[in-house]
Amino acid sequence: MTPHAPVVLDIAGTTLNADDRRRLAHPLTGGLILFARNWTDRRQLVELTHEIKSIRPDVLICVDHEGGRVQRFRTDGFTHLPPMRVLGELWHTDGNGGPGSGALTATDAATAAGYVLGAELRACGVDLSFTPVLDLDHGSSGVIGDRAFHRDPRVATVLAKSLMHGLLLSGMANCGKHFPGHGFVKADSHTEVPVDKRSLKAILADDARPYEWLSTSLTSVMPAHVIYPKVDERPAGFSDRWLKDILRLQLGFTGAVFSDDLSMEGARRIDGTLVSYADAAKVALNAGCDLVLLCNQSTGDGRPVDDLLDGLAESLTQGGWTPDPDSEARRVALLPQAAPLTWDALMHHPAYQRALERLP
């Protein structure tokens, strides 16, 4: 039995097939990420998450569900959450309460958004949403854009912490992304390899500040598939300089580190060479990631998922990567610690009803 289960994979449809069940039972599988293609309605989602947990009770069921344009479930009662930029704009609206009242209104709205987001997902069996986005809105990144709270790292940090408080109230952990910052570069790491030529000093003084200020609040972090050549030739998610030296030692982060999707173009080339998913995963794990994601590869025959699992298993036996002794504990710590409210109970819960009223 492996001492750690680092792989977060996906499934093709709205129900599990034989290959999905086999992969979920693999000892290296520690998580599963859901997409809109895995959704029909709430009943189907609840049945799906229940079956997943019946196979692997400790598997971490995840989703990208931030609000705005990144929200996987939008129908059958799910609240349409605003993009995070709306909260940043609310910060500057003083209203009738005098100077500063906009900031207080915005932080309360952010907590409400986090609570609604987490409570609705948990009622359907989802354990973790990859949120909040901590990237700063420099105005140049199309892939980040209105997903960011604000340009000012101080405002972004306070609003993110408020949203994380809401998640905590719902019983859900959090994931700050994309360390040390994806908002400055124009290129989309899904299709290109972005390069940020700023100095380490400039990045730490600006885009990375939320990670420093939230070091005791963040339960997980996802690094960017961005190269910062003045710091390291490798993207941050494959760089022990970024993950071990800067994130953990210098900024004091103690939670779990997820790689971003290994199928993205920003993850496919390491040191200028096109690598396999298994090799990319091995580099990420050795660099300091605790978990690695491979998304949208289960469709068709799903061979890339099997190649990743088999390749990592072989590499483990051959000493190609060695699990950090704390990695499995960090993964397990992301699982909810209490049972969620059912959907019907949530709809009548006073805290949930009040949170809905406070959404912008």
Joined together, the tokens standing for residue 119 give 């409570």
| 182 assigned to a ligand binding site | no
pLDDT range class, residue 270, cuts 50, 70, 90: confident
- Residues 185-206 have pLDDT tens digits of 876 666 678 899 999 999 999 9
- To the question of whether residue 53 is assigned a binding role by annotation, the answer is no
Q: pLDDT exceeding 90 applies to what percent of the chain?
A: 86
The total of other beta-carbon atoms located within 10 Å of residue 317's CB is: 9
The proportion of the chain whose per-residue pLDDT surpasses 70, expressed as a percent, equals: 95
Kindly indicate the confidence band of residue 271, based on its pLDDT and cuts at 50, 70 and 90: confident
pLDDT of residue 291: 98
Tell me, yes or no, if 301 is annotated catalytic.
no
> Sorting pLDDT into bands at 50, 70 and 90, what band is 250?
very high
Q: What is the mean pLDDT of residues 79-90?
A: 96
Helix (H) or strand (E) holding 84: helix 84-91
If pLDDT is split at 50, 70 and 90, which confidence band does 112 have?
very high
Q: How confident is the model over 151-182, as pLDDT tens digits?
A: 999 999 999 999 999 999 999 999 999 999 99
Give per-residue pLDDT as tens, 193-240. Answer: 889 999 999 999 999 999 999 999 999 999 998 999 999 999 999 999
Residues 207, 260, 290, 324: which is the catalytic one?
Answer: 260
**Range 146-151 average pLDDT:** 96
What pLDDT sits at residue 264?
79
Q: How far apart are the first and last CA of the chain?
A: 48
Predicted confidence at residue 191, as pLDDT, reads 63
Q: Which of 152, 190, 240, 307 is catalytic?
A: 190
pLDDT at 1: 47
Average pLDDT, whole number, for the chain? 94
260 as an active site residue: the answer is yes
pLDDT value at residue 139: 86
Mean pLDDT of 101-129: 96
- Residue 330 annotated in ligand binding: no
pLDDT given for residue 98 in this prediction: 66
188 annotated binding-site participant: no
Residue 92, annotated ligand binder?
A: no
Q: Which domains does the chain have, with CATH numbers?
A: 7-357 (3.20.20.300)
This prediction has a pTM of 0.95
Euclidean distance between CA atoms 67 and 49, whole angstroms: 21
> How large is the average pLDDT for residues 72-88?
97
Distance, in Å, from the CA atom of 158 to the CA atom of 164, rounded to the nearest integer, reads 10
pLDDT higher for 289 or 192? 289
**How sure is the predictor about 140, in pLDDT bands with cuts at 50, 70 and 90?**
confident
Residue 61 three-state SS: strand
pLDDT at 28 over 90: yes
Report the distance separating Cα 142 and Cα 300, nearest Å.
30
For 51-55, 140-144, 299-303, which range has the lowest pLDDT when averaged over its residues?
Answer: 140-144
Taking alpha carbons only, the member of 257, 148, 144, 152 closest to residue 194 is 144
